[in-house]
Amino acid sequence: MYKIIKKDGNAKRAEFSTVHGVIQTPVFMNVATVAAIKGGVSTYDLEGIDTQVVLSNTYHLHLRPGDDLIYRMGGLHKFMSCDKPILTDSGGFQVFSLAKTRRIKEEGVYFHSHIDGHKLFMGPEESMRIQSHLGSTIAMAFDECPSAKAEHEYVQMSVDRTTRWLERCKREMDRLNGLPYTVNPHQMLFGINQGAIFDDIRIEHAKRISEMDLDGYAVGGLAVGESHEEMYHVLETTVPYLPENKPTYLMGVGTPANILEAVDRGIDFFDCVYPSRNGRHGHLYTKRGHINILNARYEYDDSPIEEGCKCPACSRYSKAYIRHLLKAGEMLGMRLCVLHNLYFYNHLMVDIREAIEKGEYGAFKKQMLDSMQEFDGAEQKGKYNIAHNWRKG
Amino acid sequence: MYKIIKKDGNAKRAEFSTVHGVIQTPVFMNVATVAAIKGGVSTYDLEGIDTQVVLSNTYHLHLRPGDDLIYRMGGLHKFMSCDKPILTDSGGFQVFSLAKTRRIKEEGVYFHSHIDGHKLFMGPEESMRIQSHLGSTIAMAFDECPSAKAEHEYVQMSVDRTTRWLERCKREMDRLNGLPYTVNPHQMLFGINQGAIFDDIRIEHAKRISEMDLDGYAVGGLAVGESHEEMYHVLETTVPYLPENKPTYLMGVGTPANILEAVDRGIDFFDCVYPSRNGRHGHLYTKRGHINILNARYEYDDSPIEEGCKCPACSRYSKAYIRHLLKAGEMLGMRLCVLHNLYFYNHLMVDIREAIEKGEYGAFKKQMLDSMQEFDGAEQKGKYNIAHNWRKG
What are B274-315's pLDDT values in tens digits? 999 999 999 999 998 999 999 999 999 999 999 999 999 999
Q: In terms of DSSP bridges, do strands A119-122 and A248-250 run parallel, antiparallel, or are they unpaired? A: unpaired
Mutate to test the interface with A, among B30, B34, B43, B79 (most CBs of A within 10 A): B34
* Contact pairs from chain A to chain B, CB under 8 Å: 157
* Catalytic hit among A89, A215, A264, A268: A89
> What's the per-residue H, E or C state across B256-319?
HHHHHHHHCCCCCEEECCHHHHHHHCCEEEECCEEEECCCHHHCCCCCCCCCCCCCCCCCCCCH
Taking only the tens place, the pLDDT of each residue in A200-237 is 999 999 999 999 999 999 999 998 888 999 999 999 99
Is residue A54 within 8 Å of A45, Cβ to Cβ? no
Distance from CA of A211 to the nearest CA of B (A): 35
Is residue B162 within 8 Å of B144, Cβ to Cβ? yes
Cβ count near A103 (within 10 Å): 9
Find the CB nearest B38 among A38, A281, A330. Answer: A330
A-chain residues within 8 Å CB-CB of B320? Answer: 65, 69, 73, 79
> Is A376 designated active site?
no
CB pair distance less than 8 Å for A318 and B79: yes
CB pair distance less than 8 Å for A331 and B333: no
CB pair distance less than 8 Å for A34 and B328: yes
What is the CATH code for A2-272? 3.20.20.105
Is residue B167 within 8 Å of B212, Cβ to Cβ? yes
CATH code 3.20.20.105 region(s) in chain B: 2-272
Ordered per-residue pLDDT tens for chain B, 393 residues = 899 999 999 999 999 999 999 999 999 999 999 999 999 999 999 999 999 999 999 999 999 999 999 999 999 999 999 999 999 999 888 888 887 778 999 999 999 988 888 999 999 999 999 999 999 999 999 999 988 889 999 999 999 999 999 999 999 999 999 999 999 999 999 999 999 999 999 999 999 999 999 999 999 999 888 899 999 999 999 999 999 999 999 999 999 999 999 999 999 999 999 999 999 999 999 998 999 999 999 999 999 999 999 999 999 999 999 999 999 999 999 999 999 999 999 999 999 999 999 999 999 999 999 998 644 433 333 333 344 434 333
* Torsion angle in degrees (nearest 10) through CA of A218, A224, A226, A230: 10
Distance from CA of B270 to the nearest CA of A (A): 17
Mutate to test the interface with A, among B98, B321, B381 (most CBs of A within 10 A): B321
CB pair distance less than 8 Å for A281 and B73: no
Nearest CA in chain B to A303: B73
pTM strictly above 0.80: yes
Find the CB nearest B316 among A44, A312, A390. Answer: A44
B-chain residues within 8 Å CB-CB of A271? Answer: none
Nearest-angstrom CA–CA distance, B302 and A166 = 34
CB pair distance less than 8 Å for B331 and A331: yes
Taking only the tens place, the pLDDT of each residue in A69-126 is 999 999 999 999 999 999 999 988 888 888 777 899 999 999 998 888 899 999 999 9
Is residue B291 within 8 Å of B305, Cβ to Cβ? yes
B-chain residues within 8 Å CB-CB of A388? Answer: 388, 390
Phi, psi of B244 (to 5 degrees): -70, -25
Residue A218: its H or E element: strand A216-219
Q: What's the alpha-carbon Rg for chain A, to the nearest Å?
A: 21
Q: What is the mean pLDDT of residues A240-269?
A: 97
CB pair distance less than 8 Å for B40 and A300: no
Taking only the tens place, the pLDDT of each residue in A137-175 is 999 999 999 888 899 999 999 999 999 999 999 999 999
ipTM: 0.94
Inform me whether the pLDDT recorded for A376 exceeds 70. Answer: no
B-chain residues within 8 Å CB-CB of A302? Answer: 73-74
* Catalytic hit among A8, A215, A264, A271: A271
Mutate to test the interface with B, among A114, A390, A392 (most CBs of B within 10 A): A390
In the 8-state DSSP scheme, what is residue A221? S
> Is B213 designated active site?
no
CB pair distance less than 8 Å for B36 and A281: no
